[in-house]
Amino acid sequence: MKIIDILKEYIIIETRIKDLQFKLKELDEYENLGVSAIDYSKHKSATYKFSSIVEDQAISIAEKKALMNAEIIHLETLKKRIDNAVNSLTEEEAAVVRKKFIEGNKWYKVAIEIYKSERCSKQIGQRALEKLEKILFGSEVKYGKYRNNL
């Protein structure tokens, strides 16, 4: 995935984290309502295997919660890495990255906001992307392979 694509997904990443947190809260509430103690003495089969719809539901909820928590951890880590990389840029570079690549503004609007020409804004943006590539991809960056066209 290119650096520009990752930056464009930043707002979606934030929103997905919040959505997963809402879903986890909902599962917690559902779990508290629907799952109660199970009397196994009434639910034994001929093989003495315990089976219960409620128990299956509880396991299903636990599995869903584990998957959601894993996704939240992954997305929060990615967001922190992006934040760390952007915070390492100069104020001007960070402003260009936020305005152009995260918020999706047109170059002329970015230029107006940082009091530079469009050409200069694009140069600042290119320099910032190169720095972000080095920070986020490290040794994986082979110049030319991840080159982004503005």
Number of neighbouring beta carbons within 10 Å of residue 45: 8
21-47 tens-digit pLDDT:
999 998 888 767 655 545 555 555 555
The number of folded domains in the chain is: 1
Asked whether residue 57 is domain-assigned, the answer is yes
- Record the tokens describing residue 89, joined without a space: 């840029």
Asked whether residue 61 is domain-assigned, the answer is yes
Please tell me the pTM assigned to this model: 0.71
Asked whether residue 17 is domain-assigned, the answer is yes
Residue with tokens 């260009």: 96
Phi-psi region of 142 (alpha: psi -120 to 50; beta: other; left: phi over 0): beta
Domain encompassing residue 134: 3-36+52-140
73-130 tens-digit pLDDT:
999 999 999 999 999 999 999 999 999 999 999 999 999 999 999 999 999 999 999 9
Q: According to the model, what pLDDT value does residue 150 have?
A: 43
Asked whether residue 122 is domain-assigned, the answer is yes
Asked whether residue 47 is domain-assigned, the answer is no
Mean pLDDT of the chain, nearest integer: 82
Asked whether residue 45 is domain-assigned, the answer is no
